[in-house]
Structure 1
Amino acid sequence: MEKVNLKEKLSVFQDHWNPRIVGELNGQQVKLAKLKGEFIWHSHEDEDELFYVIKGTLKIEFRNKVVEINENEFLIVPKGVEHKPIAVEEVHMMLFEPAATKHTGKEKHTLTNNNQEFI
């Protein structure tokens, strides 16, 4: 058992849209990521996904609306719901999702990374 300092872990990397695993529990992974710009439209057929914003403002675009998530807020995207994260300015965030979750679901893209590093 070791505590995790989010600020320290976030200082280890600078790239965007490349989550790092910082913990695991009950089949779930806790990930940190830095986001900037637009991601791609995708969904996760069998997994819910929790987006927790540590720093900045993240917009999650859905086909029928846009939800803005500010610092210290989170949003759970239910399985099967198509979404597209957008970060106008850099966002620091934490994700909670099952370990089996594919980064971009069934979509293949240059941003897809299904071999995320444990830091």
Structure 2
Amino acid sequence: MPSAISPKAAAAALVDYWSPRVIGELDDSYLKVAKVLGTFGWHSHDDEDELFLVLDGHLRIELETGAVELDPGELFVVPRGTRHNPVAAAECLILLIERKSTLHTGNQVTGRTRSIAQQLGGA
């Protein structure tokens, strides 16, 4: 039987920061939640846009042209090819909508990089 999902509760249940978890699929996109704290790191996604929606807390998305400040209920779409650096001064819960082809850390491989298998709940 189908059941509703609470993105905020799913994000709050995560243990690791900056380690998104897929909670749903919509056509060729994943809906992901994450618990974030600190600075993620500069990166870009050459071929995909990325939507950030704040569920709880405050998120700053630094761009080369300035920064976007997001509070609960607010969203921002980072256009494809745009270098950005998400930053959370305090714990923040977010929902991401990304194409299934989007690499977690974009054009950078770092210690925060998570494979799709990891984001789907696998090893």
Structure 2 stretches lacking a partner, 5+ long: none
Matched, 1:118 2:116: no
CA deviation vs aligned residue, 1:79-102 (integer Å, no higher than 9, x gap): 000000000000000000101100
- Runs of 4 or more, structure 1, over 3 Å off, are none
- Partner Cα distance (1:16, 1:81) in 2: 23
Q: Equivalent residue for 1:78?
A: 79
- Partner Cα distance (1:52, 1:30) in 2: 11
Matched, 1:97 2:98: yes
Secondary structure at 1:112's aligned position in 2? coil
User: By how many angstroms is 1:6 displaced?
Assistant: 2.3
TM-score (norm 2): 0.91
CA deviation vs aligned residue, 1:28-82 (integer Å, no higher than 9, x gap): 0000000000011000000000000000110000112011011100000000000
Matched, 1:15 2:21: no
The percentage of counterpart residues that share the same residue type is 39
The more displaced of 3-12 and 59-68 is: 3-12
User: By how many angstroms is 1:8 displaced?
Assistant: 3.4
- Partner Cα distance (2:40, 2:64) in 1: 14
Tell me the matched-pair count. 119
Aligned-residue RMSD, C-alpha = 1.3
User: By how many angstroms is 1:9 displaced?
Assistant: 1.7
Secondary structure at 2:93's aligned position in 1? strand
Matched, 1:39 2:32: no
CA contact (8 A) 2:49 2:78 kept: yes
Which amino acid in structure 2 is aligned with residue 81 of structure 1?
A: T
> Closer, same or farther in 2 for the Cα pair 1:44/1:8, shift >3 Å?
same
- Partner Cα distance (1:7, 1:93) in 2: 8
CA contact (8 A) 2:35 2:92 kept: yes
Which amino acid in structure 1 is aligned with residue 114 of structure 2?
A: N
TM-score (norm 1): 0.93
